[in-house]
């Protein structure tokens, strides 16, 4: 089941009570900083930057303020309804199944009625997507959340023992992916994994939850989280909530603007020094590099800054597509990946980067390899 499909299952049974596995309490200044990061993303309202995941994350964290909430939710609703009811073939482009499922979660979180004519069109569209995608498999965390949701909803009494076994199976799979640092998979798959374990706790997961929570808080403190989707999966956990908590939200709450906290920006006293980064491009392992150049960028620059510098100074070219997670590299030197291919980001010789071009910051002397790979 694709993660978006599981999101849909979740959506259909948001009526369950959450049982929590504990993570260490988060420092309120840190929580304030993450909330502010997401609120800053919320200020971006261009159609391609509207992001239902951000709304869901904030809504599960007692934000945004009522005023920001109305504005953002309205923009989301107009955009998504137009995308599906527009007669023009691909203008604006139709949201993916995952985006549509997140949007419907956002509408639910915003206490709006989905059961309207326009809402029904979207739900029907989601069902079509679901039919097309039902044989694909990906993340265990989303599957686990979906099973917890089904289990608690009691909608399928005949399947109760099957669902229970499936839920235990995926929970064991998540626990089996625990790393020595305490993550499940890696730092970026851990927020959703923790949400899953919070909804399907067992005595076995108690210690693992606590350790993963501590590791995530450390990563967060060190600035490892920039991707808005991942931040919005993480913030609810800091409030001991999950996607399944959407149903228990108080629709009459009075949410105000976030109180100012004591975080002070550290002033930049010195011009950053320049570092050198080598950029190589290959489309086939055996062939020579299509591009190989060295570029000088300020220390702390992102990989996207390096690509942009390379494009300015050489024959190198690249294109990106805006996604809910940020810019995704779609073409390099005019080459667009074929079906089930993508441009993989590696630190030479063969270490895949764990962040995208907008968030990864290369070190001095590092070689980055853009490699056409199979997904």
| Shortest spacing between CB 96 and ligand B12, in angstroms | 4
Q: With CB under 6 A as the contact rule, which of the stretches 103-111, 239-247, 265-273, 346-354 interacts with ligand B12?
A: 346-354
The answer to whether residue 302 forms part of the interface with ligand B12 (CB under 6 A) is no
Check binding of 144 to ligand B12 (CB under 6 A).
no
- The window from 54-62, 70-78, 252-260, 347-355 that contacts ligand B12 (CB under 6 A) reads 347-355
In the bound complex, what is the minimum distance in angstroms from residue 335's beta carbon to ligand B12? 12
Q: CB of residue 267 vs ligand B12: minimum separation in angstroms?
A: 27
Q: State how far the Cα of 3 lies from the Cα of 137, in Å rounded to an integer.
A: 8
> Interface with ligand B12 by CB under 6 A: which range of 26-34, 186-194, 275-283, 299-307?
186-194
Among 163, 275, 310, 345, binds ligand B12 (CB under 6 A): 345
CB 342 within 8 A of CB 323: no
Radius of gyration of the CA atoms of the chain, in A: 22
User: Does 367 help bind ligand B12 (rule: CB under 6 A)?
Assistant: no
Of 286, 258, 278, 265, the C-alpha closest to 364 is: 278
Total residues at the site for ligand B12 (CB under 6 A)?
A: 33
Decide: is 189 part of the binding site for ligand B12 (CB under 6 A). yes
Q: Is 99 in the site for ligand B12 (CB under 6 A)?
A: yes
Q: How many helices (H) and strands (E) does the chain have?
A: 12, 7
CB-closest chain residue to ligand B12: 356
**Helix, strand, coil proportions of the chain in percent (round to 5)?**
45, 15, 40
What does the DSSP 8-state code read for residue 335?
Answer: B
Q: How far is the CB of 273 from ligand B12 (least distance, A)?
A: 26
Q: Are 54 and 41 in contact (CB under 8 A)?
A: yes
Cβ closest to ligand B12, residue 289 vs residue 342: 342
Cα angle: 74, vertex 327, 134; to 5 degrees? 75
**Nearer Cβ to ligand B12 (65/320):** 320
Residue 201, φ and ψ in degrees, nearest 5: -75, 155
End-to-end CA distance of the chain: 17
* Nearest-approach distance from CB 157 to ligand B12, in angstroms: 31
Asked if 269 and 280 touch (Cβ cutoff 8 Å), the reply is: no
With respect to ligand B12, which residue has the nearer C-beta, 167 or 190? 190
Q: Which 198-257 residues touch ligand B12, going by CB under 6 A?
A: 227, 230
CA dihedral (373, 361, 43, 113) in degrees, to 10, reads 40
Q: Is 142 helix (H, G, I), strand (E, B) or coil?
A: helix
**Is residue 283 involved in binding ligand B12 (CB under 6 A)?**
no
Q: Among 71, 166, 175, 353, which residue interacts with ligand B12 (rule: CB under 6 A)?
A: 353
Contacts for 345 with CB less than 8 Å, ≥ 6 apart: 303, 329, 352, 353, 356, 357, 360, 368, 369, 370
Residues that bind ligand B12 (CB under 6 A): 3-4, 96, 98-99, 102, 138-139, 185-186, 188-189, 227, 230, 323-329, 342-345, 352-357, 359, 375
């Amino acid at each position: 089941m694709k993660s978006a499909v599981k999101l849909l299952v979740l959506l259909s049974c948001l009526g369950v009570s959450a049982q929590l596995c504990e993570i260490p309490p988060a420092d309120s200044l840190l929580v304030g900083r993450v909330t502010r990061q997401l609120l800053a993303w919320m200020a971006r309202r261009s159609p391609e930057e509207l992001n239902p995941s951000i709304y869901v994350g904030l809504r599960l964290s007692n934000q945004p303020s009522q005023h920001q909430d109305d504005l953002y939710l309205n923009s989301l609703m107009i955009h998504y309804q137009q995308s599906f009811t527009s007669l023009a073939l691909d203008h604006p482009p139709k949201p993916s199944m995952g985006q549509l499922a997140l949007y419907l979660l956002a509408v639910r979180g915003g206490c709006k009625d989905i059961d309207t004519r326009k809402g029904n069109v979207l739900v029907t569209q989601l069902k079509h997507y679901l039919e097309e995608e039902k044989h694909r498999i990906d993340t265990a965390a989303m599957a686990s959340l979906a099973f917890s949701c089904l289990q608690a909803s009691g909608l399928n009494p005949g399947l109760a023992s099957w669902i229970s076994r499936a839920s235990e199976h995926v929970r064991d799979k998540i626990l089996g992916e625990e790393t020595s640092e305490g993550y499940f998979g890696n730092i970026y798959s851990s927020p959703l994994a923790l949400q899953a374990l919070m909804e399907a706790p067992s005595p076995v997961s108690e210690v693992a939850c606590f350790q993963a929570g501590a590791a995530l808080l450390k990563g967060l403190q060190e600035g490892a989280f920039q991707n808005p989707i991942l931040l919005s999966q993480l913030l609810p956990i800091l409030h001991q909530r999950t996607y399944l908590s959407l149903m228990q939200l108080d629709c009459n709450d009075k949410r105000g603007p976030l109180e100012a906290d004591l975080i002070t920006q550290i002033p930049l006293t010195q011009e950053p020094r320049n570092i050198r980064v080598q950029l190589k491009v290959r489309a086939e392992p055996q062939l020579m590099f299509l591009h190989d150049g060295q570029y000088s960028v300020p220390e702390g620059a992102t990989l996207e800054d390096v690509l942009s510098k390379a494009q300015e100074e050489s024959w190198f070219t690249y294109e990106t597509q805006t996604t809910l997670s940020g810019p995704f590299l779609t073409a390099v030197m005019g080459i667009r990946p074929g079906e089930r291919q993508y441009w993989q980001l590696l630190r030479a010789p063969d270490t895949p980067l764990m962040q995208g071009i907008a968030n990864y910051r290369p070190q001095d002397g590092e070689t980055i390899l853009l490699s056409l790979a199979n997904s």
